[in-house]
Amino acid sequence: MSAEHANTTRIRSLDRPGDLGWVIMVHGEQYQREFGWNTEFERLVARIVADFADDHDHEHEAAWIAEVGGRRAGCVFCIRDPDDASGATAKLRILLVDPSFRGHGVGAALVDECLRFARAAGYRRVTLWTNDVLVSARKIYQSRGFRLISEETHHSFGRDLVGQIWRVELDGQPPAPATSIAATSIAATAITSG
């Protein structure tokens, strides 16, 4: 295999044996190593993955694995926002890029695939919940038109954090300006409904 081919990023559907478990494992290990987060975070990721695996709408929800040189390098999920009764909002969930593949466009390619899918599925907007310590991911979101909607401090995953909700309008309309929401609301949403 040539060096050029070995570094080619390929985005594929999350549909192979081991993909689901890899997403959970790598999130747990990586976030503990980088940020000192406890297994509360891994349990949240496990619930998101299990819910997707058990009952997702194939026309309106999808997940992808990025591979570089045949190795899993990252992942992202796009799901219908259960809090939007109109069905117009998708949620970008659990974006992750293995540290050894960062800086090569893997995260951007995953976010682009998620946004492309959301548009094709007829969503009008995409939201996401993240924490301010995830600087690299935030830069990708901003470069793709996401705007900060709200943020608030919370204690989750064994740490004091600043949770953030970001949104991009897919029809070209800018999102509403940022507002503050209750910390307990963000933490409860992150833990219970993700």
Give mean pLDDT, residues 94-111.
95
Quote the number of domains for the chain: 1
**Owning domain of residue 108:** 3-193
Among residues 95, 33, 32, 28, the alpha carbon closest in space to that of 66 is found at: 95
Query: In this predicted model, what pLDDT tens digit does every residue of 115-152 receive, in sequence order?
Result: 999 999 999 999 999 999 999 999 999 999 999 999 99
State the pTM of this model.
0.85
Distance CA 126, CA 30 (A): 25
CATH of the domain at 51: 3.40.630.30
Q: DSSP E strands: which ranges in 17-100?
A: 62-68, 71-80, 89-97
